[in-house]
Structure 1
Amino acid sequence: MRVSTRFSDAIHLLAFLKIYDQQHLTSDLIASSIETSPVVVRRLMGKLRQAGLIKTVPGSAQPTLAKPLDQISLLAIFYAVEGDKPLFSVDPKTNPDCIVGGNIQTVLRQYYQDAQTAAEARLAKTSLQDIVDNLLVEQAKKEALS
């Protein structure tokens, strides 16, 4: 099963909009950084626009952030691109006649819910500003070492 990268791609896209806000930003340019297709970028931008995280003008290639970085949480980005789907899912099809198969769903459900709650709380506390700041620190380290 392939894991979705929509969430990390959306964070990437938003950080790119901020860091390269003085450039002519097209879906082709953004896609070249994410290493995906411009179609995928446009789909992500549509979801981010619907969530009120970016502004776009039809026919114009210059998307912008709709809010300051510190007002965009990672949780808001997650909900924008993934909806409210759970981070973890329990296999609903197990053998009910087995000790493990007959009880695993009930046992895991609470652990998964606790993990989901903790992850959402952490994402809510982390802003896009945190991400951009860390990206710039990492770049500065690379430049200092070269």
Structure 2
Amino acid sequence: MRYSYKLSDAVHVLTYLAVFADDDHSSVAISKSINSNPSLVRSLMSDLRKAGLITTQQGLADTKLNKDPKDISLYDVYQAINMNHDLLHVDPKTNMACLVGSKIQGVLDQQYRAVEEAAYAKMKTISLAEIIEQIVKK
């Protein structure tokens, strides 16, 4: 199973921008903090810019947060990044001739939706400011 780290990395980018507000905001500098490559950072910054969370200037390493970190939720970041936004996935290849195989998809879909709604509600209560505070405090 492959995991996506896009949410973690997008939060990392925003946190970096807030913590190092007056430092180098180039994709190269931020990618060193993430331990990734600059093209990943540029892609994430593009998503964050399109969502209105940051402002960037072509050719300048002068990226700014558009909102106070207390007004940016984990859910806002999650919605901003370009990825599959389903947290849980049901196996679509089940045996429809089997009692379990024919019903499991619908049942799990319903249950998974409830889990996702609870997760999204929790994500809406977690602000970027809280994450920054925990990082700076430790």
TM-score of the alignment, normalized to the shorter chain, above 0.5: yes
Shorter-chain TM-score range: over 0.9
State the 4+ residue runs in structure 1 displaced beyond 4 angstroms.
Answer: none
Compared with structure 1, are the counterparts of its residues 76 and 84 closer, same or farther at alpha carbon in structure 2 (3 Å cutoff)? farther
Deviations 1:83-108 (A, max 9, x none): 57211111111011223212111111
For structure 2, the 5+ residue unaligned runs are none
Report % sequence identity: 40
1:100 partner SS: helix
For structure 1, the 5+ residue unaligned runs are 139-146
Aligned residues: 138
Trace 1:49-60 onto structure 2 (pairs within 5 A). Answer: 49-60=49-60
Give the TM-score taking structure 1 as reference length: 0.90
The alignment yields a C-alpha RMSD, in angstroms, of 1.2
Deviations 1:37-83 (A, max 9, x none): 00000000000000000011111012111110011111010000045
Return the alpha-carbon distance in structure 1 between the equivalents of residues 69 and 94 of structure 2: 44
Return the alpha-carbon distance in structure 1 between the equivalents of residues 14 and 85 of structure 2: 21
Give the TM-score taking structure 2 as reference length: 0.95
Residue identity in the other structure for 1:66: N
Residue identity in the other structure for 2:79: Y
